[in-house]
Structure 1
């Protein structure tokens, strides 16, 4: 069977399964074994699951357009409907981590970052997300920048254009889906007895944040740029007109707040604002007073459109999610260079968030 027909049958089966249910037979999956590996592949799929490389998606679109003579508008619709998108994966599975609430404890902690949207990992990158070194990029503690207004970097657009060409992002809203996978549990006791085994009264949870790309040429970094620690991305010479460009990432969620610590205007401290309790933007709560490990898979899609005040919005509460997390706005608002972050939280004495694994998959259209 030639490639265009095989690909056509594969996508037809995928669409048919999406509409009527069922799974794609393994025999219908295109054979890509002889292709060169792509730098966008950063994970291993489960048995029977096929996750395309960037080159796979481009070849499928080309075969449907030229081989089956389909209009490009139809090709785009088929590929989007089948969710046949490339993606990057980062995961933290470095052993169980605990976040304890109470006086003098760190009650919110950055757990993991995604790769910047549009950045393609090189072949040496792994699912532990090496960008500068083995550990710094995913979990290095962010610092508030000493400015509330939007930060602009002289070389930001240059880097965005480079990543746009390499990743082939399509449209004004290229990010199509973000999938969070979390394995965690609380301390296994506490709270109101009637809430045990539900998401009500849970004070260990996870929130989503966002960082934006800001790129500077040597000597152009602003004085407000945090120096220690700061996570940056070195730009290889061949990727940029100037090898001295440094990419930093400015935290925009959670927002930065300033506090004047004395009558002197120079004595100002900057902090991130975190809600006291899980609010309407909460990514996922742990089940209350359940010590067994739980796995939650949360999917945010660009076409989500759930009204927070609707019945479906209220149902999210029963699933341990915030009512505003299924509007699709976060996914549609992702720009080239944006980074998704996951924060672990715990509140009130004796509550502990035990975390075994957190994974972020970011999908985009080409």
Structure 2
């Protein structure tokens, strides 16, 4: 097994380069690329919340009232991939008696209005004219189609849109009441997904809150206590699933710390970097990915070409403080920054700096 350092020098100097695994221009149809894009790592927290969603669907069938669930999390923590995986495993199907939609998914529009909500549900149910009719008529059609399509679970994303940001973050009570009535009318459980501020909707609507007693938070990985080991295990599972000839050592402690600094433990950002690096390896028929590809992928997938940003995969390992937070390399930055803004420093490491780093790793 090559280390990240050994592989970094091995790829370009392959004495007899093989033809690329995929066409660099038309490579999206490659089986390896398809595997890469579908890659899902079911780490413990992911599996627990997935199981909670399944409980809502299955246990509600014989329950006195639907088991509903609220899932919250910051951007990039994996909410979308979790829901997409659940939908993929419970797809709609055509039967002799009509279309069956076991899991109905819709995004809550912004701003959220009752009519827009009803229209989105009707469209997801296959209504040919989802915007037609009065509000009452659209709601009644939604209820009838939910029953006709044998819907067992409704998932609504972007729940934070129930908060009106243009009016002092006021909760949209009429839409909240409409959602409560939809649950009562259909007896179908609903999973709401949104940003952490979504909880405000429930705190200001007691009747809706009673139906969403179960709440789950999908959080970024941490770099302290057991969180560090959990993050490293996650990276090892990612490494094992990549469609590469050799398992890349992205889970070594030094590379894992760089990855955590780059992503703040957010799975969506980790996968952006890893997918970008792996794509390049597949196009060039390399056996594995190295820290060099990760450095390039970080620039291309997360921050773009900005000479003022420091690449955490180049130079010394970036520090993380005692609280598990990435230490900013500039004291002049504002307190809260996106990953792109946070990496402001003297500039990217030079080639000589990179060579020194690689020698240090090899030692």
Tell me the TM-score range normalised by the shorter chain: under 0.3
State the structure with bigger RCO (CA 8 A, min sep 6), 1 or 2: 1
- Structure (1/2) with the larger helix percentage: 2
- TM-score w.r.t. structure 1 length? 0.23
Under a length normalisation based on structure 2, what TM-score does the superposition of the two structures give?
0.23
